[in-house]
A and B are shown apart, each in its own frame.
Chain A
């Protein structure tokens, strides 16, 4: 029997059990887990950490950002308030979330030696790189390992004997701010992802995959799976009727309202503005994004989900996010939202939205208004992050003409000998998502 025949919960439980078994009882030095968006990666990390701690193995946890580390510490403390946890942090001001100070079992320090005796110590890869130890940790968990660069794994790999590597292969690849073509094709290319290097040198390591996305609704999982994970499909943990988004205030017939209704109904909405070449911070598109957000909040949205069937929760500003490709676009959207009197809505770039979850997201399409399609804008991971942050619906705002633009600019990245070609390429993913979204198109002239 394959996992596809099982109920989502059973399939996920089976995968998790296999992962934990390999991690705690396996003989290999590493275990790799691929996790699609919202598949319970953090839950898995917390469970693995608790089991390793229970087995009496000193554990270090490596995450990529301070926010991720703090989040893991809080989750660990919530699951097991008796487990002493160390939070290693940098000596900057505000190096960690002050909420940790309220937890008696969490000890914070900027020196690893202060925390050495604790069963679990967590920090960022950047901080771990400065730690020197005589005796390596028995075990490590490396979180967001696909977003970690090979060179930063090189700096910390000497600290542990064995490790569990967890991450999402579909999200943004790590990048370098200078050219690194010189090392392309080498198994240890320092600009490649940590997992790529790890598997190139240790191809026999057990690899697992979490098969169910609990975040993405049934309307989104098939598209995201087909477009971004064609060879490692996953499915939604919920069925079509499990989630509902409704609005108390009826549509006023405007473009933003119609696209909101389309998205509430089908999970996707595409608000298409007239074709035009614009600067990155396209004022009309930015205003359209802000208007959609404003109307989402004004219309008294309510979201029903499997977590509380029959009890709709209000769609508040903290459950809505706006995603963009560039920081200046995010800044422009923030300004536009402030002008419309909207506060507390998260507006960020794809890079910063990684790992976050909202009920509804509004996305400014990376290619909107562009005269060309560069490798940056075609990057698979960027679009994947933007299209997979939502539990209920995703609204894409875009200038018309993406299809033509893609036809004019096929991918032209040079193929390097010895590198793994990533499938699907960004162009292909752009095209397939665009085809799908076109079915939910609302044409609007602001």
Chain B
């Protein structure tokens, strides 16, 4: 945790309110996101209990599995979820714009520009908390390898149509959410705690209700007390007033309310199956429907508060103006979405269970590059973030007190002006360290040429001054300017190209070979994980 975040948290504790740690919104928010509030069953990984999903805050779709251990009911749930999510995704797949993409020409090996389609916008999924991200990945994994009867008539446990497709999309979104700065799938608690520092620990911040209580406490109330209430307060029956955002549910709810309701549902179902005549069946069907209704109401009662909280959180975030570079990162999200759309359309198989060596290395390289890019862009977009970097000695702001035009040695001397900057910051500058400033959105570099006195730095400007002997107007700081230099680079260099997977070297086990279809679980053959 950086010093400035620690300070903000201390201030939050003493003032009882979360403190802003950003002045702009660093993540793109779609105008029409799909919010997904899932609940899972205790004791069985990947057994959904129900969910609220939808794009209309006033009309979420409630999906419930009245007996979570019943695989048929689970598939019905997943099919319903696919009917909710896939049309939303499809609605973005059709609208495209022309764009250019760099590709390696297979014949010449040169990098060439090719025309490509880019989806004009991309669907955005919001889950309440980080545990929700993991659940999306788990759902994706449990669905994408399944086969429908249409794909494989021999499949012993055919999945409903579209379920494997939903699995592939959720997998793609889950994987994309690991890329720093991406916004296709967001955990609201992560985004909120990027913008506000609460007076509680990072772990406690994963409780959406408590975090919102710190950020937006009830009128005249104290955030700390409201957060405590959100976390712990129970009604007379022992139930939490603010149910956890899930996917895990409160044990008191499971034991006191849910388990009896599910048991009643089971009994009603057994009774219906045992009905001997139509009249009895009618009655028992009504009893079953009532029992199912009861479970539905319970699930609704535990997801609706979270659903409303998610939208409230989105409102808070929308009140912040979007950071200047967020759009650029969203464009990369759109490329990611378009790329997966194309892979699905091309009939490619689902994402493999494990990455091969080359894919894993490429993903890691991309994420590290995006992380460095995100950190630089957030600082450039937001003076408060930059203040944190300045406090950490990674940037400095100062006033230009002198500019002397000097030239490089060599046949064609180029301008290398010496700029003297007086700063109150304490950057960790080594001799000849490079520093960067933003000049019209492009980074101009300079190096430390000397340190005159405490806080007086002489910098030699190195580039972005044009080709002529005289620097282009506006390209050199002038006396009296207040400028901000960073010690970190603003743009990231592309990494080296790794070999193709079929050329994996001997040090990494050689080529991975042809992918084989995933085998079902050895214990429960109806699962393919």
**Contact surface of A with B, Cβ cutoff 8 Å:** 29-30, 94, 126, 129-130, 150-151, 153-155, 157-158, 176-180, 182-183, 186-191, 194, 197-198, 201-202, 279, 327-328, 331
Contact = CB atoms under 8 A, between A and B. Distances in A.
Contact of B496 (A126, A186, A188): A126
A202 B506 contact: yes
Nearest to A29: B506
Contacts of B524: none
B354 interface: yes
B180 A178 contact: yes
Given A154-B358, A179-B178, A328-B428, A191 B498 contact: no
B360 interface: yes
A194 B508 CA distance: 9
B365 interface: yes
Given A29-B506, A201-B507, A190 B499 contact: no
Contacts of A178: 178, 180, 364, 367-368, 371
A32 to B, nearest CB: 11
Interface string B479-508: 000000000000000011011000111111
B508 A150 contact: yes
Given A129-B496, A151-B361, A179-B178, A201 B368 contact: no
Given A202-B507, A331-B393, A155 B180 contact: no
Given A151-B364, A157-B508, A331 B428 contact: yes
A201 B367 CA distance: 25
A231 to B, nearest CB: 24
A197 B360 contact: no
A407 B506 CA distance: 44
A130 B496 CA distance: 5
B428 A177 contact: no
B503 A190 contact: no
B351 to A, nearest CB: 12
B393 A201 contact: no
B509 A155 contact: no
Given A177-B371, A179-B178, A183-B355, A154 B361 contact: yes
Nearest to A328: B393
Given A158-B505, A201-B507, 9 more contacts: A154-B505, A178-B178, A178-B367, A186-B354, A190-B361, A190-B363, A201-B508, A331-B393, A331-B428
B314 interface: no
Contacts of A279: 3
B509 A188 contact: yes
Interface in B376-429: 392-393, 428
Contacts of B368: 176-178
B130 to A, nearest CB: 12
8 contacts: A150-B508, A154-B498, A155-B496, A157-B505, A189-B360, A202-B506, A328-B428, A331-B393
Nearest to B355: A183
A188 B428 contact: no
Residues of B in contact with A, size category? 20 to 34
Contacts of A176: 364, 368
B393 A183 contact: no
Contact of A180 (B364, B393, B432, B509): B364
B120 interface: no
Contacts of A197: 507-508
B509 A201 contact: yes
B434 to A, nearest CB: 10
Given A182-B178, A190-B357, A328-B392, A154 B508 contact: yes
A189 B364 CA distance: 10
A129 B499 CA distance: 10
A163 to B, nearest CB: 8
Nearest to B365: A151
A176 B360 CA distance: 13
Contacts of A198: 507
Contact of B372 (A94, A177, A183, A201): A177
Interface in B427-473: 428, 432
A341 B507 CA distance: 51
Nearest to B361: A151
A154 B507 contact: yes
Contacts of B505: 154, 157-158
Nearest to B392: A328
A188 B364 contact: no
Contact of A190 (B364, B392, B428, B504): B364
A137 to B, nearest CB: 13
Given A177-B368, A177-B371, A328-B393, A153 B507 contact: yes
Contacts of B496: 126, 129-130, 155
Nearest to B509: A201
A126 B496 CA distance: 8
Contacts of A29: 506
Contacts of A151: 360-361, 364-365, 498
A6 B397 CA distance: 62
Nearest to A126: B496
Contacts of B367: 178
B263 to A, nearest CB: 36
A153 B505 CA distance: 9
A338 to B, nearest CB: 11
Interface string B506-529: 111110000000000000000000
A201 to B, nearest CB: 4
A110 to B, nearest CB: 15
A437 to B, nearest CB: 29
B301 to A, nearest CB: 35
Closest 6 CB pairs of A and B: A129-B496, A157-B505, A151-B361, A188-B357, A190-B361, A201-B509
A187 B392 CA distance: 37
A190 to B, nearest CB: 4
Contacts of B508: 150, 153-154, 157, 188, 197, 201
Which among B367, B368, B505 has the greatest number of chain A C-beta atoms within 10 A?
B505
